[in-house]
């Protein structure tokens, strides 16, 4: 009887839009990034910002570059200091830029931002975003990768961007949606939104699978 009830719930949700499927969940975004807030809101999913919490974003030096972002997203998820209620669904994420095997995080100052942009100038690099979905008793982490190529950037362009946009809160010292993206990005292979900090199409697909595997919160 209980099994039949579960099947009925799943069947009822087939064909529903994702933001309708999530209406019984308390979706929490564990990120201070305004770009991630904007992108998640654009999907139509109702969510709240998780209470601010601290997380030391460090990783083992032996960790492969492609694994850093998903490692850090999971680290952030488990740094969340509050117990999750039965219908809480916590989303955390981290984005890194990879150039020649080196992980470029957020620059600590303007000089470091200029150095990063000088290294990216005229080269291909990868942007990897890791995302962790967690409920009480269940967790899923995935990552998305985009390949980006910068045209040659002049010293004047780099100085102008760093001084005007102050990209110290951005991995690799740039935001693709800002001036530098318009004048400097030569090509992109992969998700544009992934480069912004949240691969929303992949996130929606992963959320679909995640909530279908855990329908019981809809029975409360």
Number of domains in the chain: 1
Check residue 212 and give its pLDDT. 86
Q: How confident is the model at residue 11 (pLDDT cuts 50, 70, 90)?
A: very low
Q: What is the CATH number of the domain that holds 154?
A: 3.90.950.10
Confidence of residue 5 (pLDDT cuts 50, 70, 90): very low
Q: Domain limits at 173? A: 2-219
Secondary structure (DSSP) of 193-205: HHHHT--HHHHHH
CA 105 – CA 168 distance, rounded (Å):
9
The pLDDT confidence band at residue 215, using thresholds 50, 70 and 90, is: low
Task: Kindly report, residue by residue over 63-80, the tens digit of the pLDDT.
Answer: 999 999 999 999 999 999
| Contact assessment for residue 52 and residue 32, using Cβ atoms and an 8 Å cutoff | yes
The DSSP code sequence of the chain is -HHHHHHHHHHHHTT--HHHHTTTSEEEE----HHHHHHHHHTT---EEPPP--------TTS-HHHHHHHHHHHHHHH--SPPPTTEEEEEEEEEEEETTEEE---SSHHHHHHHHHHHTTSEEEEEEEEEEEETTEEEEEEEEEEEEEPPPPHHHHHHHHHHH--TTSGGG--TTSHHHHHHEEEEES-HHHHHT--HHHHHHHHHHHHHH-GGGGG-
pTM, rounded to two decimals: 0.88
Verify whether residue 67 is a known catalytic residue: no
Q: What CA–CA distance (Å, rounded) separates 161 from 173?
A: 10
For the stretch 22-64, pLDDT in tens is: 999 999 999 989 999 999 999 999 999 999 999 988 999 999 9
CA nearest to 131, candidates 100, 168, 96: 96
Residue of 83, 94, 124, 169 marked active site: 94
Q: Give the residue from 57, 77, 71, 128 showing the smallest Cα distance to 99.
A: 128
Please give the pLDDT value at position 8.
42
The continuous run of DSSP H or E covering 209 comes out as helix 200-213
């Amino acid at each position: 009887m209980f099994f039949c009830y579960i099947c009925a719930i799943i069947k009822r949700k087939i064909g529903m839009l994702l933001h309708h499927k999530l209406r019984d969940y308390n979706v929490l975004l564990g990120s201070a990034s305004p770009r991630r807030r904007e992108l998640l809101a654009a999907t139509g999913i109702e969510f709240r910002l998780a209470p601010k919490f601290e997380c030391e974003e460090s990783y083992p030096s032996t960790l492969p570059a492609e694994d850093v972002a998903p490692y850090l997203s999971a680290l952030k998820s488990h740094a969340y200091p509050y117990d999750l209620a039965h219908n809480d669904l916590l989303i955390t994420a981290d984005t890194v830029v990879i150039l020649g095997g080196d992980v470029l995080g957020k620059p600590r100052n303007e000089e470091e931002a200029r150095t990063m942009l000088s290294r990216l100038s005229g080269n291909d690099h990868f942007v990897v975003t890791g995302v962790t979905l967690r409920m009480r008793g269940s967790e899923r982490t995935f990552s998305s990768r985009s390949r980006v190529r910068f045209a040659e950037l002049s010293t004047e362009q780099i100085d102008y961007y760093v001084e005007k946009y102050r990209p110290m809160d951005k991995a690799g010292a740039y935001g693709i949606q800002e001036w530098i993206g318009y004048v400097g990005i030569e090509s992109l292979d992969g998700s544009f939104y992934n480069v912004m900090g949240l691969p929303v199409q992949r996130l929606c697909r992963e959320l679909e699978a995640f909530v279908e595997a855990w329908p019981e919160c809809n029975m409360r």
